[in-house]
Chains A and B, each alone.
Chain A
Amino acid sequence: MKCKLIIDRDRPEEVEIRAHRESRLTRAIERLCEEDGVRLIGYREREIVPLHPPDVCCFIVEDNKIFALTATEKLQLKCRLYTLEEELPDSFVKLNQSCSANLAKIERFDSSFAGTLTVLFQGGYTDYVSRRNLKTVKERICKFYE
């Protein structure tokens, strides 16, 4: 596929894809554009840190506070999980009431003795998929990796 970059400061930025059919490449470009539009702010103690969603493994709730877990650190966010979930790109899926996962950062799935599916992220963090969200998680994984 040909790629053309036009630098034009007078017009709004947009990416237009012309293809014969939807493919892995078109979906990846769409995902990149979608992810690029979301900018978040994380807090490392009192320091403000810009946060790029593709770098985040998952967003979790602990003690009524929202944290973004990257492969190396844990940053606090000052917003509600449900408002955050509305802004997040399609590469994020809700695993349970207190965790939204980045599908691209999932290392593997395991089954626990309790009969739940657990998720191991690239940073080593583990969470579980609630039965209520299992169907959605399966569908989103299929769509994401197809």
Chain B
Amino acid sequence: MNNYLKTFLHRGLVFAGFGPIVMAIVYVVLQNTIPDFSLSGTQVCMAIVSTYLLAFLQAGGSVFNQIEHWSPARSIGCHFGLLYVSYVLCYLLNTWIPFQAEVIAVFTAVFVAGYAVVWLTVWLIVRSTGKRLNRMIRR
């Protein structure tokens, strides 16, 4: 089996369980803040399965940045695409957002902004590392 696929599956399986845990915490918070908050068995089942898969894909997808023969644009594109599709599907399946073009557009904008902020942070950290290493070389 391809090493990257193995890493994808390994990371996915290690971190997949965190999805339902986070979801359970959110549900507890909602129960304590919203009066008469209740869920059906189907809703709970769907939420558990979908957040498990979401966490699995999110953790496994981090391997895209390590595939060295891929161009940076390709790895960023695949990583972003995988996360975006899995998040949108998860939110729609659980009806956390309604299936309406305007809502999905807002969700997309927020998602793109969040992704951009994370990348900007990574870029700033890398830039600072580069500067530090350059200072060492010049010294």
* Residues of A bordering B, CB below 8 Å: 96-98, 106, 108-117, 130-132, 134, 138, 141-142, 145
Contacts and interface: CB of A to CB of B under 8 A. Distances in A.
A106 B134 CA distance: 9
Given A97-B68, A111-B126, 20 more contacts: A96-B68, A109-B129, A109-B130, A110-B130, A111-B129, A111-B130, A112-B126, A113-B72, A114-B72, A114-B76, A115-B72, A115-B119, A115-B122, A115-B123, A130-B68, A131-B66, A141-B133, A141-B136, A145-B137, A145-B139
29 contacts: A96-B68, A97-B68, A106-B137, A109-B129, A109-B134, A109-B137, A110-B130, A111-B123, A111-B127, A112-B72, A113-B123, A114-B72, A114-B75, A114-B76, A115-B65, A115-B72, A115-B119, A115-B122, A116-B72, A116-B126, A117-B126, A117-B129, A130-B66, A141-B136, A141-B137, A142-B136, A145-B136, A145-B137, A145-B139
B73 interface: yes
Interface residues of B, number: 20
Q: Which of B76, B129, B133, B134 has the most A CB atoms < 10 Å from its CB?
A: B133
Contacts of A106: 137
A141 B75 CA distance: 28
Contacts of B129: 109, 111, 117, 134, 138
Contacts, number: 53
Interface in B95-120: 119
Nearest to B72: A114
Q: Which of B66, B72, B130 has the most A CB atoms < 10 Å from its CB?
A: B130
Contacts of A130: 66, 68
A113 B119 CA distance: 9
Interface in B24-38: none
B130 A117 contact: yes
Contacts of A132: 66
Nearest to A118: B130
